[in-house]
A and B are shown apart, each in its own frame.
Chain A
Amino acid sequence: MLKTRIIPCLDCKDGRVVKGVRFEGLRDAGSPSELAAAYEKQGADEIVVLDISATTEGRNAALATVRAVRRELSIPLTVGGGVGSAEHAGVLLDAGADKVSVNSAAVKDPAIVTAIADRYGRQCAVIAIDAARKDASWEVVTHSGKNRTGIDVIAWAREAVQRGAGEVLLTSFDRDGTRSGYDLDLLKAVSEAVPVPIIASGGAAHAAHLLEALRAGATDVLAASIFHDGDLTVGDVKKYLASQGARVRL
Chain B
Amino acid sequence: MSRTIVIVRTGTANLASVRAAFERQGHTVELTEEPARVAEADRVVLPGVGAFGASMAELVKKNLAEPLVERARGNRSLLAICVGMQLLCRGSTESPGARGLEVVNAEVSRFDAPGLRVPQLGWNDVTAPPEARFVRSGVAYFANSYRARQVADGWVASTADHGGTFVAAMERGNVLACQFHPELSGAWGAQLLARWIEGSG
A-side residues, CB < 8 A to B, are 1-5, 40, 45-46, 67, 70-71, 73-77, 93-99, 119-124, 166-167, 195-197, 219-220, 249
Is B4 interfacial (CB-CB < 8 Å)? Answer: no
Pick the interface stretch among B57-65, B69-77, B118-126, B151-159. Answer: B118-126
Contact residues of A: prevailing secondary structure: loop
Whether B124 lies near A1 (C-beta < 8 A) is yes
B-side residues, CB < 8 A to A, are 12, 14-17, 20-21, 23-24, 49-51, 83, 116-125, 139, 141-145, 161-162, 181, 183-187, 189-190
A126 to B185, CA, bound (A): 20
Contact residues of B: prevailing secondary structure: mixed
9 contacts between A and B (CB under 8 A): A1-B125, A2-B124, A70-B20, A71-B24, A77-B17, A93-B16, A121-B49, A122-B145, A124-B143
Measured CB to CB, the nearest residue on chain A to B125 is A1
Which of A3, A96, A197 is B20 in contact with, Cβ under 8 Å? A96
Whether A220 lies near B143 (C-beta < 8 A) is no
Write the nearest CB–CB distance from B94 to chain A, whole angstroms: 10
List, in ascending order, chain B residues with CB within 8 A of A121's CB.
12, 49-51, 83
Whether B119 lies near A5 (C-beta < 8 A) is no
A121 to B14, CA, bound (A): 11
A97 to B143, CA, bound (A): 14
List, in ascending order, chain B residues with CB within 8 A of A119's CB.
12, 50
A4 to B121, CA, bound (A): 10
A91 to B139, CA, bound (A): 30
A76 to B185, CA, bound (A): 8
Whether A195 lies near B183 (C-beta < 8 A) is no
Write the nearest CB–CB distance from A14 to chain B, whole angstroms: 22
Measured CB to CB, the nearest residue on chain B to A69 is B20
List, in ascending order, chain B residues with CB within 8 A of A122's CB.
119, 145
Instruction: List 13 other contacts, CB 8 Å, given A94-B16, A195-B118, A196-B118.
Output: A1-B161, A2-B124, A73-B20, A74-B20, A74-B189, A75-B185, A97-B14, A98-B17, A119-B50, A123-B143, A123-B144, A219-B117, A219-B122
List, in ascending order, chain A residues with CB within 8 A of B161's CB.
1
List, in ascending order, chain B residues with CB within 8 A of A166's CB.
119, 121, 145
Whether B123 lies near A5 (C-beta < 8 A) is yes
A71 to B121, CA, bound (A): 22
List, in ascending order, chain B residues with CB within 8 A of A75's CB.
141, 184-186
Whether B50 lies near A4 (C-beta < 8 A) is no
